Amino acid sequence: MSVIAQLNSPAMYLICGVIILFVAAVCIFFMVRAYKAGVAIGMDTAKMKRTIIASATFTILPSVGILLGVIALSGSLGTPLPWLRLSVIGALHYETQVAEAAAEQIGLSGLSASEMTLQAFTTIALMMSFCIMWGMLFSILFTKRYSSRLKNGGSKKAGNRPGFGDTAMTAMFIGLVSAYIGSYIGGFVSSGGLFHFAGSLMPIAVVVIAGLVMAGFLWLAEKKNAAWVDSFSIAGSMILAMLGAVVLNPIL
């Protein structure tokens, strides 16, 4: 049996499937618990249902993007391991990079199906799991203490005004988005040489289209009283912007 056939064997699916099933059960358990706690403390159930619908629609498209990551890695690592890695802790940008680096450390020229050996595979699997475990480890060790510190700090108010917590969260998110948009602008202007304007304009065009579509959705929600649009605004903006990328591809 070839290496790739062994990596796609039912036993490998079983090992990965059990872990993924456990994680899915944890998510369902936390979800039901949170919903019941929300009802118990008198939260509006309509708000909670809206959260669930908005989060589900929001997630579908990026998940298809992640599925592409599974497909990309399945050529050299088989399907079960990338399926596990990208369902649990994994991150699209991380997996390929670490798998590639691990492959080089064990003497392969890179991630390639033709060079893959069973030992190379298990070593890569260990490295992919180990190098990204820190967030989970910190959660076990520090989240309780860190959360209570944040709570004590966040509960301080200035007079009758709300605390700075909400503003800080929004600002942090603005910083995150700005870093990415800045990288698209920098990539376009200087990736082919300082001020050569030879980089790809596509990510910037997609950002602009998504922003414009979002403006349309918010206009509908706020001016035309179509509040239901809000739950689908991100997914809708993303679909249209991604379609824009397909249309613009021959030009850009």
Q: How far is the CB of 250 from another protein (least distance, A)?
A: 10
Does position 11 interact with another protein (CB under 8 A)? The reply is yes
Answer left, alpha or beta for residue 78, where phi above 0 means left and psi between -120 and 50 means alpha. Answer: left
Between 156 and 224, whose beta carbon lies closer to another protein? 156
Dist. CA 132–CA 91, nearest whole Å: 9
Between 105 and 112, whose beta carbon lies closer to another protein? 105
Does position 251 interact with another protein (CB under 8 A)? The reply is no
Does position 219 interact with another protein (CB under 8 A)? The reply is no
User: Site for another protein (CB under 8 A): which residue of 42, 223, 224, 225?
Assistant: 42
The position carrying tokens 């989240």 is 143
79: CB partners within 8 A, 6+ apart: 7, 8, 13, 70
Does position 45 interact with another protein (CB under 8 A)? The reply is no
Does position 12 interact with another protein (CB under 8 A)? The reply is yes
The three-point CA angle 129-133-135 to 5° equals 150
Dist. CA 210–CA 192, nearest whole Å: 26
**Where in 76-135 is the site for another protein (CB under 8 A)?**
79, 81, 83-84, 86-94, 97-98, 101-102, 105-107, 117-123, 125-127, 129-135
